Amino acid sequence: MKNVYLLIKLNRLIKSVWIKNLGIYFLHITGKRYYAVFLDPIVMCNLRCRMCYFSDENYRKTHQSRKFTDDEIEKIANVFFKRALKLQIGCGAEPSLFQNNEKIIRLAKEKKVPYISMTTNANLLKDEDWKSFIDSGLDEVTLSLHGVKKENYEYFMTNASYELFLASLQALTKLKKQNPQFKIRINYTVNKDNLEELAYFFEIFKNYHFDILQIRPIQKIGDSDYNDFSWNSIIEQYDSIIGKLRQEAIIRQITFIAPEKKDLTKSENENSSIADSTNFYVSSRSCWEDGFDLQKDTYESYSKRTHLGRRLFKRIFQKSNNKTKKILNYKIN
């Protein structure tokens, strides 16, 4: 299915976790696509965003990582892409520091992965990079934003330049005209100190094109410079600011994704309970499940050796198998 947002909506409509697990088991044994690959081709970042673990010196010291070689990228493509519904390049680090993203995108295209996306801070990418990604087959880009105005943007995204971000947005807006199927998505990581300026979002960015706007409340994803997770002082304003933004997005035919106030303080939802079966994280530090060996294993050999089919079958009958994951409930318009 090309439209991943429809798939997400469908996933939400099916409330029963056991039916979802039954579907996953069925797709696995019939050789169909059923999972998303979250790929970090390099575990480094050019920025030190205050809400992110890259602002923590200890994290940086203990997470020095080499990047994937060409050979490893080919192995990853051969092992994972033919059963993947979605490939997301850039998950826990900055993918634009990797020099050969085009190769990843092209391989995913060759293996007919239905949806290929990239998440990036966009500061290092120039017009020609964007063109080259789209020409290689990128379906969507998610640009991360931690402030609407220059001051907050550069305060929260340490080392970033507002002008470089706008230059990428300008290049993408231009490319969108020649590639109307390409999707531009904004991921606004919101906290109590950058919520209010969201009210100016559409005024400030009125000249740029967006297809999707996601508001993602700050979560504890590791030790970080900024770690105020409280909403108490701002909770009453949350629904009013988000509500107005939602209305504006609907008028502009932009898909709007944000949790409602009532969900802000909740830490789990039912969809989280299938994430372990359908979200495969691949980086040079960790590849799918413990025990998977990229040099020796294939999807089939590993599944057979570790009885993946049997494990997925058992999950159908487990009452709830993953209530500790912190995944927020998002409302999609």
Ligand X SMILES: C[S@@+](CC[C@H](N)C(=O)[O-])C[C@H]1O[C@@H](n2cnc3c(N)ncnc32)[C@H](O)[C@@H]1O
- Nearest approach in angstroms of CB 88 to ligand X is 9
When asked if residue 195 is in the footprint of ligand X (CB under 6 A), the reply is no
Q: Is 93 an interacting residue with respect to ligand SF4 (CB under 6 A)?
A: yes
87 CA to centre of own chain:
10
Closer of 108 and 215 to ligand X (Cβ)? 215
**Cβ 239 vs Cβ 262: under 8 Å:** no
Question: Shortest distance, CB of residue 30 to ligand SF4, whole angstroms?
Answer: 37
Q: Name the token pair of 269.
A: 């939802």
| C-beta closer to ligand X: residue 76 or 218 | 218
218 lies in the binding site for ligand X (CB under 6 A): yes
The window from 42-50, 128-136, 209-217, 257-265 that contacts ligand SF4 (CB under 6 A) reads: 42-50
Do the beta carbons of residue 78 and residue 129 sit within 8 Å? no
Is 144 a binder of ligand SF4 (CB under 6 A)? Answer: yes
Residue ranges of alpha helices (H) inside the chain are: 4-13, 17-29, 57-62, 70-80, 101-110, 127-136, 150-156, 162-178, 201-204, 235-251, 261-264, 275-278, 299-305, 308-317
Number of residues that bind ligand SF4 (CB under 6 A): 11
Q: Which residues contact 60 (CB under 8 A, 6 or more apart)?
A: 54
Strand, helix or coil for residue 257: strand
Residue 145 binding ligand SF4, by CB under 6 A: no
Our CB check for ligand SF4 shows the closer of 52 and 274 to be: 52
Which span sits near ligand SF4 by CB under 6 A: 13-21, 48-56, 104-112, 321-329?
48-56
By CB under 6 A, residue 191 contacts ligand SF4: no
Cβ nearer to ligand SF4, comparing 144 with 271:
144
| Minimal distance, residue 296 CB to ligand SF4, in Å | 30
Residues 34 and 25: their CA atoms lie apart, in Å, by 9
CB of 199 to ligand SF4, least distance (A): 23
Q: Which of 88, 101, 119, 277 binds ligand X (CB under 6 A)?
A: 119
Under 8 Å between Cβ of 90 and 119: yes
Task: Say whether 256 sits in a helix, a strand or coil.
Answer: strand
Position 193 contacts ligand X (CB under 6 A): no
Contacts of 180 (CB under 8 A, 6+ apart): none
Residue 269 neighbours by CB distance under 10 Å? 17
242 binds ligand SF4 (CB under 6 A): no
Q: Which of 24, 49, 73, 308 binds ligand SF4 (CB under 6 A)?
A: 49
Cα dihedral sign, 269-10-116-75: positive
Angle in degrees, 0-180, between the axes of helices 70-80 and 101-110, rounded to the nearest 10: 30
| DSSP state for residue 287 in the 8-state scheme | B
Which of the choices ligand X, ligand SF4, none does residue 216 contact, using the CB cut-off of 5 to 8 A by kind? ligand X
Q: Judge whether 127 and 169 are in contact, CB under 8 Å.
A: no
Binding ligand X by CB under 6 A: which of 88, 101, 117, 121?
Answer: 121
Q: Which stretch binds ligand SF4 (CB under 6 A): 47-55, 62-70, 245-253, 286-294?
A: 47-55
Q: Which residues bind ligand X (CB under 6 A)?
A: 45, 49, 51-52, 90, 92-94, 119-121, 144, 187, 189, 216, 218-219, 221
